């Protein structure tokens, strides 16, 4: 595991420790000094990996302040910090409701109920399940009660509705603009107030005063009706079926089902909730034309057509049908939201960057938020959009590592905005690091890590498919194409499990066996050789992974690249031989001191005459950070390598950040720095292929000033 990950995990822990005040974690020490509803859930997910006790205390504190009708409040105020936030209890006056808790000061609204989801994570991540069980038993009825509250008091046409932008968690989302603008603020008296969230340099990041007037207008209205739900529904202008909120409750319903199973409790009611929400969202909030889900104004019976990240949240809730998922994915993975091949942006901004009112700095009107990315990451995995999920995960990790644990980030230059040392950024960063590195290392690698001491010949069976040597390479490549069609997903990843059991793989093996009789002298031109060896490299890796039964990462087997070999024309070739020996013209492996082929090695005669650095964007080492796998033909090899290189350099593996004088690039550039010709060479190749003219100009004018940093390499299997 990269050292910088360990170091930054420590930093994340430091942020959480600093914000922990004994029984809960402040979202941020100065801007948000009390306990927040969904923040606590995200934060507890971070703790669940290294401090179960704290994760439990965090949620226990929140649920201790649950209202008598089941509502979990948006804010639980801490007496000793009163006076530093607005609005505080004197504005909320929640004692006007008969349901307010007796011993706690809270606000009078709620937030997206992600707690059941967090509780399940705490259970799943705990090393001693029996120890956690009493907490699960304690909180389960409270979770049920909190969902009952929504389905009983806050449900209309099977939608759970929110009554305040703060309840949605996305306070000043462009989705609320129309409703808020149309509020006649003279209907209820809004007292004069003084905001506490503004400092000298953050006004352009925070909601406007006119937004705050409306936020407080709504609070005054709730007070006027003593927080009675039916009165609020009748009289308030803000009654919204929020797509994010309904997706979150749906994800939590599914978590509740799992918790009910653990506790052997009845789950009929939960199932019914989940069906109702799922159907309502699927049928009424989806716009096939716009490729997104919208929230719905229940007062005016109209869709709130703003293309925000909330519109993709039905992936998180497991609500979208496969067809809907496919459609919204095509928008989610488009340039409006920083697509996979776009490069030079961090994914995903909270609002379509192509919209005229997209605002890269302003709160919920443009920047990248870690919690939203995290939920979408979970959702994308649920629908098997693995490459995109990894892309989001990478940015959840990269953004804090490069720019600090900020509240939100600029999608184009990564700059952190809002408050510093923000708790959920630290907590969800921690979750991702555990998911991608630590857990993987502890649970999977250590148990299964094998060391290959002796060579394994992968094509050593007696069955041959062909006798006509001339056709072997052609057939092998055709078969690769066939396998690709069948088992490689659109995003360039491979479904190894089904591949291993397939008829096609058996046929493929018969061809690889025939490679033993292949006469390498038949490869005449450099192009023929290049295409042949790239394809063989990519196939020997696939075969090594399949045959050594790797489950999670090529790192499970030490020696995979050097000991798993193909017999080709009676000579054994490992992936290292092909890459460093042949294609890189007998160079050193990135982590070794000597050249691949010893001076007496008979394979030296196959070495390429010249190194074509573009091979680095075509060789696929079976990991998520590799280029997508492709078939290369000798006729088109030049063009194909041009495309592969351009794709890679314009993907998120290369980021030019003029504002910071930084160039973030894939670790491939670090390992093969010499192949590229050092720092200058790296800049040259990027300049040659980069599409973005502005960034190109910056790069060429600032060669000396620019600092190159390397992105983390994800060694998890590209399955
Ligand atoms: C109002 C605490 C909260 C988050 C919200 C975020 C912001 C509060 C505010 O901070 O809202 O709830 O004062 O702006 O919008 O999602 O829970 O981090």
Q: What is the pLDDT of residue 477?
A: 66
pLDDT of residue 473: 67
Separation CA 54–CA 77 (nearest Å) = 19
Instruction: Output the CA 55–ligand 1 centroid distance in Å.
Output: 20
Mean pLDDT of 594-620: 94
> What single-letter DSSP state applies at residue 33?
-
For the chain, counts of helices (H) and of strands (E): 30, 20
pTM: 0.85
Q: Which residues contact 354 (CB under 8 A, 6 or more apart)?
A: 335, 336
Annotated catalytic residues are 171, 407
Give 646: exposed, middle or buried? Use CB within 10 Å, 0-12, 13-18, 19+. Answer: middle
User: What pLDDT is attached to residue 445?
Assistant: 46
Q: What average pLDDT does the structure give for the chain?
A: 92
Mean pLDDT of 342-353: 92
What is the model's pLDDT at position 583? 98
Q: Which pLDDT belongs to residue 719? A: 61
Pocket test for ligand 1, best of 41, 92, 171 (most atoms within 8 A of CB): 171
Token pair in block for residue 701: 């004018």
Percent of the chain with pLDDT over 90: 73
pLDDT at 505: 84
Contacts of 272 (CB under 8 A, 6+ apart): none
Q: What is the pLDDT of residue 674?
A: 95
pLDDT (mean) for 84-94: 98
Q: What's the average model confidence in pLDDT over 193-212?
A: 95
H or E segment and range at residue 656? strand 654-657
Q: Residue of the nearest CA to atom 10 in ligand 1?
A: 32
More confident residue, 634 or 231: 231
- Which run of H or E residues covers position 254? helix 243-263
pLDDT number for residue 453: 82
Q: What is the mean pLDDT of residues 460-466?
A: 72
Going by pLDDT thresholds of 50, 70 and 90, the confidence category of residue 552 is confident
**At residue 248, does pLDDT exceed 80?**
yes
Which atom of ligand 1 lies closest to the CA of 38? 17
Query: Which has the higher per-residue pLDDT, 473 or 186?
Result: 186
How many Å lie between the centroid of ligand 1 and the Cα of residue 170? Answer: 8
What pLDDT score was predicted for residue 450? 80
Whether ligand 1 lies within 6 angstroms of the CB of 38 is answered as yes
pLDDT value of position 446: 47
Q: What integer pLDDT is reported at residue 468 of this predicted model?
A: 65
103 Cα–ligand 1 center, Å: 23
In this model, does residue 240 exceed pLDDT 60? yes
Q: Which of 392, 308, 335, 400 is nearest to 692 (CA)?
A: 335
Mutate to test the pocket of ligand 1, among 35, 166, 216, 405 (most ligand atoms within 8 A of CB): 166
Please report which confidence band the pLDDT of residue 652 belongs to, taking 50, 70 and 90 as the band edges.
confident
Compute the average pLDDT of residues 310-339: 97
Measured in angstroms, how far is the CA atom of residue 381 from the centroid of ligand 1? 27
The confidence score (pLDDT) of residue 154 equals 98
Does the CB atom of residue 486 touch ligand 1 within 6 A?
A: no
More confident residue, 125 or 448: 125
* pLDDT score, position 3: 65
The atom of ligand 1 lying closest to the CA of 422 is 18
Q: Is 612 left (phi over 0), alpha (psi -120 to 50) or beta?
A: beta
Tokens describing residue 347? 């994914």
**With a 6 A CB cut-off, is 337 part of the ligand 1 pocket?**
no
Q: What is the pLDDT of residue 508?
A: 83
Question: Measured from the CA of 166, which atom of ligand 1 is nearest?
Answer: 12
């Amino acid at each position: 595991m990269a050292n910088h990950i360990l170091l930054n995990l420590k930093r994340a822990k430091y942020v959480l420790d600093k914000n922990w005040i004994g029984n809960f974690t402040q979202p941020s020490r100065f801007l948000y000094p009390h306990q927040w509803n969904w923040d606590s859930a995200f934060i507890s997910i971070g703790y669940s990996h290294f401090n179960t006790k704290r994760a439990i205390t965090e949620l226990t504190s929140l649920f201790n302040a649950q209202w008598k009708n089941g509502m979990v409040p948006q804010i639980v105020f801490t007496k000793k910090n009163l006076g530093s936030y607005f609005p505080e209890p004197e504005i909320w006056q929640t004692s006007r409701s008969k349901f307010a808790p007796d011993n706690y000061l809270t606000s009078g609204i709620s937030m997206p109920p992600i707690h059941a989801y967090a509780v399940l994570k705490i259970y799943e991540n705990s090393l001693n399940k029996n120890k956690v069980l009493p907490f699960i038993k304690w909180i389960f009825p409270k979770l049920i009660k909190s969902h009952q509250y929504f389905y009983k008091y806050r449900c209309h046409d099977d939608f759970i509705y929110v009554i305040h932008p703060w309840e949605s968690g996305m306070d000043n989302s462009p989705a609320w603009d129309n409703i808020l603008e149309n509020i006649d603020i003279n209907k209820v008296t809004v007292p004069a107030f003084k905001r506490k969230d503004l400092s000298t340099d953050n006004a352009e990041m925070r909601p406007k005063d006119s937004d705050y007037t409306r936020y407080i207008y709504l609070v005054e209205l709730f007070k006027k009706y003593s927080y009675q739900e039916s009165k609020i529904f009748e009289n308030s202008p803000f009654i919204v079926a929020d797509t994010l909120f309904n997706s979150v409750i749906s994800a939590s319903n599914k978590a509740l089902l799992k918790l009910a199973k653990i506790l052997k409790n009845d789950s009929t009611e939960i199932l019914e909730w989940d069906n109702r929400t799922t159907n309502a969202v699927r049928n009424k909030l989806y716009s096939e034309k716009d490729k997104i889900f919208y929230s719905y104004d229940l007062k005016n019976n109209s869709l709130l057509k703003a293309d925000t990240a909330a519109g993709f949240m039905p992936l998180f809730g497991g609500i979208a049908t496969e067809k809907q998922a496919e459609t919204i994915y095509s928008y989610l993975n488009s340039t409006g939201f920083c697509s996979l091949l776009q490069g030079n942006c961090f994914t995903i901004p909270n609002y379509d960057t192509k919209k005229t009112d997209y605002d890269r700095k302003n709160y919920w009107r443009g920047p990248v938020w870690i919690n939203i990315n995290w939920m979408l990451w979970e959702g994308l995995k649920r629908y098997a959009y693995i490459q995109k999920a990894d892309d989001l995960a990478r940015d959840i990790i990269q953004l804090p590592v490069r720019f600090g644990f900020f509240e939100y980030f600029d999608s184009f230059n990564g700059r952190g905005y809002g408050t510093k040392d923000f708790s959920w950024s630290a907590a969800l960063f921690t979750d991702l690091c555990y998911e991608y590195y630590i857990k993987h290392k502890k649970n999977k690698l250590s148990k299964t890590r094998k060391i290959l001491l002796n060579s394994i010949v992968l094509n050593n069976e007696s069955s041959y498919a062909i006798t006509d040597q001339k056709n072997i390479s052609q057939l092998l490549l055709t078969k690769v194409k066939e396998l690709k069609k069948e088992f490689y997903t659109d995003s360039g990843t491979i479904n190894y499990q089904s591949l291993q059991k397939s008829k096609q793989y058996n046929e493929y093996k018969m061809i690889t066996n025939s490679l033993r009789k292949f006469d390498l002298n038949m490869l005449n031109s450099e192009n023929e050789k290049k295409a042949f060896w790239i394809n063989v490299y990519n196939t020997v890796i696939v075969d090594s992974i399949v045959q050594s039964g790797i489950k999670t990462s090529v790192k499970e087997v030490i020696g995979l690249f050097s000991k798993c070999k193909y017999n080709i024309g009676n000579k054994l070739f490992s992936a290292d031989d092909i890459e460093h020996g042949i294609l890189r013209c007998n160079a050193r492996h990135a982590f070794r001191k000597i050249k691949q082929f010893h001076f007496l090695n008979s394979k030296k005669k196959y070495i390429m005459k010249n190194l074509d650095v573009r091979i680095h964007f075509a060789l696929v080492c079976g990991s998520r950070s590799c280029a997508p796998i492709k078939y290369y033909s000798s006729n088109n090899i030049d063009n194909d390598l041009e495309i592969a290189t351009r794709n890679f350099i314009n993907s998120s593996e290369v980021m030019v950040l003029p504002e910071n004088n930084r160039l973030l690039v894939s670790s491939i550039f670090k390992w093969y720095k010499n192949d590229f010709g050092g720092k200058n060479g790296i800049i040259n190749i990027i300049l040659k292929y980069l599409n973005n003219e502005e960034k190109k100009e910056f790069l060429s004018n600032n060669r000396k000033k620019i600092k190159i940093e390397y992105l983390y390499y994800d060694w998890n299997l590209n399955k």
